[in-house]
Amino acid sequence: MLKIENIVKQYESHVALNDVSLIVPNGSVFGLLGPNGAGKTSLIRIINQITAPDSGKVYFKNELLKPEHIHQIGYLPEERGLYKKMEIGDQILYLAQLKGLSKTESIKRAKYWFQKMEIESWWNKKVEELSKGMQQKVQFIATIIHEPELLILDEPFSGFDPVNADIIKNEFLELNKKGTTIIFSSHRMESVEQLCNHIALIHQSKKILEGRVTDIRNQYKNNTYSVVIRSGKSDEEIKNSGFSIKTITHQENVIQLEIQLEEGASINQTLSKLISQFEIISFEEVIPSIHDIFIQNVTQSN
């Protein structure tokens, strides 16, 4: 869907993007991650043709990005981009027609989405009368009303209560099932873990990580296992039981250990040794979370 090649963007003495390349697969939910100031927003603005790169190329569906491609892209910014004094219904129709829809089709789709989001009574309200979360609902409709092939979401759950955040999340996933490719930029790692199947991590203007979420998590495995035991032994006795124990956590009537396999030791050997000393409730490999991988990479790059 999208191919970014060697993008460089500089503002006076500040380098926002330094030779960034990445590929957003068609039909994916692609997480664009990075700390504040990493360069994510600069890249999003280039994809939306709000600004141009100093060098490098952007390809949309194997074509060099052109102004007419904007009709196939939807962008939900973190900061609202609505006219505060304009009535919401008129505003949605205006923005839909800017994206290439006829007035008749704009009215039809607007009515569908107002009904679906249960906001029919808002048609004649002004944006300034709405809360932040309510404004975000309106912004969401404006973003997807032209049925874009590529949808870019920058902190899409900002301002939403948990109930409305779930509603919007489900709408995103439904659009993705129908074929919409989504770029999802967020600081909420639990949302990234839940929604994204591909990610890229940008830090200090450079891309430092990219790939499928499952592949990246497996890449960062380090032979660590979670073991839940039932034992009357003290923590000191457990620590001296011959295992490389990273953590000990007490949970009601059981104890959770996080152990790292010794070099050269097999899973079967370790499990057999555990069984000889403890009553084992569960034993499973610890796969690092995207949050842990994010922290590790950002810390190492500083």
Instruction: Give residue 301's pLDDT.
Output: 67
What lies within 8 Å, CB to CB, of 142 at 6+ separation is 82, 91, 92, 95, 96
* Both tokens assigned to 61: 């569906």
Q: What is the CATH number of domain 222-286?
A: 3.30.70.80
The confidence score (pLDDT) of residue 80 equals: 64
- In this predicted structure, what is the pLDDT of residue 271? 87
Strand 224-230 versus strand 279-285 pairing type: antiparallel
Q: How far apart are CA 280 and CA 131, in angstroms?
A: 52
- First-last CA distance in the chain: 32
- DSSP per residue, 195-232: H-SEEEEEETTEEEEEEEHHHHHHHT--SEEEEEEE--
d(CA 59, CA 47): 9
pTM of the model: 0.81
User: Please, are residues 255 and 281 in contact by the beta-carbon 8 Å criterion?
Assistant: no
| Cβ contacts of 298 within 8 Å, gap of 6 or more | 35, 201, 203
Domain ranges of the chain: 2-218, 222-286
Q: Which fold has domain 2-218?
A: Rossmann fold (3.40.50)
Positions of the chain with pLDDT under 50 = none
CA angle 214, 179, 177 (to 5 degrees): 65
Q: What is the predicted pLDDT for the residue at 79? A: 72
For residue 87, the 8-state DSSP code is B
Confidence (pLDDT) at 17: 92
- Cα 11 from Cα 275, distance rounded (Å): 61
Pairwise CA distance, residues 168 & 136, whole Å:
10
Question: What's the pLDDT at 134?
Answer: 81
Cβ neighbours of residue 201 closer than 8 Å, sequence gap 6 or more? 33, 34, 207, 208, 209, 210, 294, 297, 298
Distance, CA of 127 to chain centre: 27
- Total residue count of the chain as it appears in this document: 302
Per-residue CA distances from 132 to 74, 78, 137, 155, 158 (Å): 20, 11, 9, 13, 9
